[in-house]
Amino acid sequence: MKVVKTYTNQFKAELDRALLESRGIFASVLDDHVNLTAGVFNTDLLAIRLVVDDKFYEEALKVLGEVPSE
């Protein structure tokens, strides 16, 4: 699994997950529990991760309009 994008907002992460899945790319949102701690910690330091299978990474980046970071 590869991280396609990171978020501080779970809703935005879920929207992008749904977009990818509508294009046939299975995606998962990891670390979505960080919103539970929003009042306790600085959420800028926490990241919600959107991940896809390695073989769909490049396609997922295109769908989300991201440029690969290498």
CATH at 41 = 3.30.70
Domain count, the chain: 1
| Residue numbers of the domain that contains 7 | 2-64
Domain-embedded: residue 46:
yes
pLDDT class of 70 with cuts at 50, 70, 90 = very low
Domain-embedded: residue 69:
no
Does the pLDDT at position 65 exceed 70?
yes
pLDDT class of 47 with cuts at 50, 70, 90 = confident
Predicted confidence at residue 26, as pLDDT, reads 97
DSSP 9: -
Task: Kindly report, residue by residue over 10-39, the tens digit of the pLDDT.
Answer: 899 999 999 999 999 999 999 756 555 555
Does the pLDDT at position 67 exceed 80?
no
